[in-house]
Structure 1
Amino acid sequence: MNAPETALQGQDTAVIGRLYIAFELGEKSWKLSLGDGVHAPSRCTVAASDMASVLTAISKAKARCGLAGQAPVRSCYEAGRDGFWLHRWLTEQGTHNLVVDSASIEVNRRARRAKTDRLDGDKLLSMLMRYHAGERRVWAVARVPTPEQEDERRLHRELGRLKQERTAHSNRVRSLLILHNLRVARIGDRLWKPWWNEHGPQLPPGLRAEIEREVVRLALVKTQIKTIEAQQREAVKLSAQPAIALLARLSGIGVGSSWLLVKELFGWRRFHNRREVAGCLGLAPTPYSSGESQVEQGISKAGNKRARWLMIELAWSWLRYQPTSHLTQWFNERFAPGGKRTRRVGIVALARRLAIALWRYLEYGEIPSGASLKPLAKGCRP
C-alpha cells in the first residue's frame, strides 16, 4: 500500500459538490452561468429581478450536475447599479455571494478582445472557482455595508449632487448673460433682484424667460442645500453623531467634511494599519519595476474617490488653519520652497499623512501633533 493510501485510510474522503453561479446583470434581463467545476457550465437568461426563475435555474443546474438539493451554492456579480440588494437576498437563501469590483477583473491583452455578456459570464464563473480554490488575489471583493450604513450615505451624497447642480445653474445664467455683454458677480442673492430689474428688460423675451426659469431652479437647489446642512448641524449638536462631532473639533475641518469622512470611510471600515488607510483612499504609491526599468507611477487612485478628493481639499485647508501642527511644518520644510508642481506633489503626500492622523485620532484618541482644537459650540456636549 502506498503512502497516500495509508494516509487516507479511515478518513471520510467524500467530496462535497458545490454549485457556482455568475450573474451578468442587465437592465431588462440577467444572464446566469452555472457550473460545478466538473461538468461543462450551463447558461440561461431570466428576466431582471425574477427571483423565482433564479431559484428554478439553480435547481435545474444542481440536477444536471448530479448535486444534492442542499448542496452549497456560491455566486458572484459585479458591483453596479443594482447595488447590494441582490447580495442580501442571496445571503438569505443560504448562498455565499461575492460582490466584485469590475475594474479589478483581469482581461486578455492580446490583440482585439471579444466581449459579450455570455463571455463575461463565463469569465466570472471561472474566476469565482479560482477564488474559492485559493487564488484570493484574482480580483477585488467589495465590502458590503449594512442597510443602515448604506442608508446613512444618502444625505451627504445628495448634498454633493445638489452643490454640483447649483454650480451648473449659476454657470448657465452667467453664460446666457455674457451673450449680451452683461456680467454679474452673484446670482440668486439679495443683490440679484435689483440688478435684474435694471438689466433684465433689455434682453430678448425668450432669453429673459429662460434665465428666470434657471434662477427659480437655482433658488430651489439652494433651499434644499440649506435644509440638508441644517440637518447635519442639528444632528452633531444633539450628539447623535459623536464621531463627526469629534472630527469637526479640529480646526480646518467642518461638519460637512467630517460627515463625509465618517460615513464613507471611518464610520464603517475597520483598518489595522496606515497602509490600509492609504490604500482605501487610493493614495498608495504604485511602483513599476521590471528589469532595469524602475518608475514610480504615482498614487493608485483605486479607492473611494469622494474621500480622496476631500482629503486633498482638507490638506490645503490644514496648511491654512493648522500652521503650528507638525504636518504643516513638515510640508513647509520639504515642499513649500519648491515650485507649483512640487507643492502639488507634496499636497498628495500631506493628504495621505493627514488621513492616517485622522484615523488615529478617531480610533485611538491621538490628537495630531501640534494641532489645535475648536472650542465646543454652545449647546454641544463634550
Structure 2
Amino acid sequence: MTTNPSWTLRSYPTAMPTVDNWALEDRPMPQAAEGELLVKTLWLSVDPYMRGRISPAKNYAAGFKIGDLMLGGGIGEVISSEAPDFQPGQIVISDYFGWQPFTVIPASTAKLVTTTDAPMQAALSYLGMPGLTAYFALLKTASPKAGETVLISAASGAVGQIAGQIARIKGLDPVAVAGTDEKLEWCRELGYRAGINHRQSADLVADVAAACPNGVDVFIDNTAGPIHDAAMLNLNTFGRVVVVGTIALADRFDQPDIGLRHLRKTLITRARIEGFLLDDHESEYDAAIADLLAWHKQGLLHTREDVAEGIETVPHALVRMLKGENFGKQLVRL
C-alpha cells in the first residue's frame, strides 16, 4: 500500500460540527523516524473532548489548525519501530493516533496493551480514559459517603455507564439522566435506581426532585446546560458538582455559556464545584485499572459499545456522539 486515506480539519465549526468540517485526503504511507513507531490502526476512539480541539478558542489542550491531521486515542499493531522499547507485532495504545489506517506515533506516548482478561478495545473504554474518568471523578473528586445520592448526566455514555456502576458497587444511590427510554432501561440494568429522560421532560427541575427525593449530594456533570441547572437547584448542603464535560454546548461551543447564575445557591449550600481533568490522577492509574478489571471479572461491571466500521466513518461517529445518538462507548474499528 502506497497511500493512506487520512482525515484533516477543513474548517472550524460555528455550530454543531458536520462531516463537511473534515476532508479525507489520500496521503503517502508515513515512515517512522527516530523515537517513533509506524503502527497499523486497529481501533480509534472518538470522545467529547475533541469538540474543544476543533475550535480556535483557548482550551486545556492545544487545538488543531486548519489542514492538520486529526489525532485521538487509538490502538494498533506496530509495523516498524525506531525506538528500542517496542518491536513489530506488539499492540500499543496512544492518544496520538492519526485518523488514518497507518499512523506514526511518538514512542514516548505509547503503552503496550497487555491485558488478556478483556477485549483489546477495553483499553479505550472501561480500562482506559472513560473508565478512569468515572473512577476518579466519583471516588476522588466527589469523595462520596455511603448512601449519598449521585446524579449522573449522559448516564449511558462511555463515562456515565461506568460511574453509575461504581456508585452502585460503593453503596451509593445512583440516578441517571439520559436522552431516550432505551438508554434509561440500560441504566436500570446496570444498577441505577431511577432515571430521567431529559429530552421528554417538561420540567427538569421537578423531575430531578422527584427522582432524588432526598436531594442531590453529588452531581457528575458530563453535559452542562439545562441538566446542570436542574441539578444545582436540587443540590443538598455541602453538595459536590464535578464538571467532567460540556457536550450539551457542542452546537455553541464558541459562544458565551448563558444560563442561570448559581452563586446564591452555592453560597447557601456551601457546595463545591470542581472541574475534572484525568491527567491530574496519572500516578494512580494502575491501582484504578486493577479495581476496574477486578469488578469486570467479578461480573459487577458491564459496558456497551457503539462501533462504527472503517476509516471513512470516523467524523460521522464523532458528530453522532456529540449529538447524543450513540449508545455506549463510541469506537471505530478499522
TM range (shorter): under 0.3
Length-normalised TM-score, structure 1: 0.22
Larger radius of gyration: 1
Normalised TM-score (structure 2): 0.24
**Bigger share in strand:** 2
Determine which structure has greater relative contact order: mean sequence separation of CA pairs < 8 Å that are 6+ residues apart, divided by chain length: 2
